[in-house]
Structure 1
């Protein structure tokens, strides 16, 4: 069996196996990424930590209650001399003491520092959710970039195999023609070279396809050797308008939301530092029980006491050397910086939207042009093939038409998925990526 038939059987076998493989749709890809992508899992866990930190239990609003208990034992030898000169000795004088108490401490007023800190923790949690959303969006864009690369290589593999099949058919005709004296040895050698070149392309594209599938499996957090096929069809949202797109980005873009949230947090820092200018009023209360079992030298053999204690304390730091004033000033400067940062982010987003919009528009134009090129090259190849069979053109001219068709098909595949990736980037900038059906 020659190499031509081996390659044909290998291709047919690979496609028969692919029919039984998993068909990974775009919707399933999103669900797998959201559930198993490593970066997304870590981002969600960080958001959970921020949520725990924003709990009332971490705010300082609740009182602190503590319990204490203890027991002591002592055994002593003592020698005592009285004023009249008499003396006494006691050996092994034992005594015991027991105690237990429960105490409550509560800050009644601290200049509203706890209140602002609690609000800041809640806004910090909201910021962490925005940061998690950023990671989710970036991860999905990355996942689909690889998904569409798998789709592109899948279609390129089919096109290269079709070109290889044509080259092998031409080689068979060249062999027959050479055997019957109709072709020269040079024509036969040219046909063999073209088959070898197409075979190399086919093997290379298969290797690239396998690598890309492993990359996608890794991003989806599953067995990297898992076999699957992808959906090579794509559709485009043609309702983009530049002005409305810019307006939507100013309202929904995740980076602008994060900048706004950071500015809100800085305002809470100012209020928290100002709280140190006010007095601090605290309440403390305790209930205790004590029992003493004294030795023989004590006046009382046993003694027990219990009781309730309560008190209020006021602490006002009238002057701390200017530390609080400095912190307030720095917090205000930081807020000014974050305001400037927000304006910068807003302008950067507008610039990125305009750039992405132009890239998307140009990508759609290129896609339309490449579709026309493919149709033109198909018609050109069909006529060239007929003329080649009639002996009206050379094998070199036929090969050039074949290469032109293959290149135009490859360019069309690239243009199609480049346009889709450009659309995803535009959707991400406008904050609509997670709301889009793929």
Structure 2
């Protein structure tokens, strides 16, 4: 009795823990492709770079401010002999030097070159958006074609299984006729 109870409990625990593999729908496959495909992710990253490059500063329309700061320290030992024979010697002489500055450059007019650069950056951004659309359409069409190919293969397998079952039935009928 105990043994039967333990076997029954183990059987129920195994039944509740095992799960069948979930059926992949076309929508799930497309969502996974959109979120995990590297070609699409790379196209989106490139487009983000293009969006950042399409700015007034990248086109050269804004002033450029640069700053510099330099600091150097040195310790020197020096020995100097003068013309009158006197020796001057300094040990561990420290030298501190610091320089800094700010520079502002602004091109007021460069023959409309800055406007041409800005238009070029905008066109590159539009090309990046078109590349994203191309990658999305290409990858989704490949996933759909593969999915429907698998569905077709599964239906073909089911049809072949039915054909085999019918053939076995015919063989059984033929054997029965032969015996009769």
Structure 2 CA distance, aligned partners of 1:57 and 1:150? 52
Partner in structure 2 of residue 129 of structure 1: 129
Structure 1 residues 118 and 76, CA gap change in structure 2 (3 angstroms)? farther
Partner in structure 1 of residue 100 of structure 2: 101
Partner in structure 1 of residue 70 of structure 2: 69
- In the TM superposition, 1:38-437 aligns within 5 A as 38-56=38-56, 58-60=58-60, 61-73=62-74, 74-81=76-83, 86-92=84-90, 94=93, 96-109=95-108, 110-180=110-180
Post-superposition CA distance 1:24-52 (Å, at most 9, x none): 33322321211122322232222233233
Deviation at 1:132, TM superposition (A): 1.8
Partner in structure 2 of residue 27 of structure 1: 27
Structure 2 CA distance, aligned partners of 1:129 and 1:99? 49
User: More relative contact order in 1 or in 2 (CA 8 Å, sep 6+)?
Assistant: 2
Structure 1 residues 175 and 125, CA gap change in structure 2 (3 angstroms)? same
- Point out where structure 1 has 5 or more consecutive residues left out of the alignment: 1-19, 181-438
Deviation at 1:149, TM superposition (A): 0.7
Judge conservation of contact 2:63–2:104 (CA < 8 Å) in 1. Answer: no
Judge conservation of contact 2:71–2:97 (CA < 8 Å) in 1. Answer: yes
Structure 1 CA distance, aligned partners of 2:32 and 2:136? 12
Structure 2 CA distance, aligned partners of 1:95 and 1:29? 71
Deviation at 1:76, TM superposition (A): 2.1
Structure 2 CA distance, aligned partners of 1:143 and 1:65? 51
Structure 1 CA distance, aligned partners of 2:73 and 2:29? 67
For 1:96, what is the secondary structure of its paired residue?
Answer: strand
For 1:24, what is the secondary structure of its paired residue?
Answer: coil
- Root-mean-square deviation (CA, aligned residues, Å) is 2.4
For 2:107, what is the secondary structure of its paired residue?
Answer: strand
Post-superposition CA distance 1:183-222 (Å, at most 9, x none): xxxxxxxxxxxxxxxxxxxxxxxxxxxxxxxxxxxxxxxx
Structure 1 residues 164 and 90, CA gap change in structure 2 (3 angstroms)? same
Structure 2 CA distance, aligned partners of 1:43 and 1:117? 22
For 2:138, what is the secondary structure of its paired residue?
Answer: helix
Post-superposition CA distance 1:14-73 (Å, at most 9, x none): xxxxxx542333322321211122322232222233233335554443413222222343
Structure 2 CA distance, aligned partners of 1:40 and 1:97? 55
Structure 1 CA distance, aligned partners of 2:141 and 2:101? 57
Aligned pair count reads 157
Partner in structure 2 of residue 233 of structure 1: none
Structure 1 CA distance, aligned partners of 2:119 and 2:21? 52
Structure 1 CA distance, aligned partners of 2:118 and 2:41? 26
Judge conservation of contact 1:75–1:95 (CA < 8 Å) in 2. Answer: no
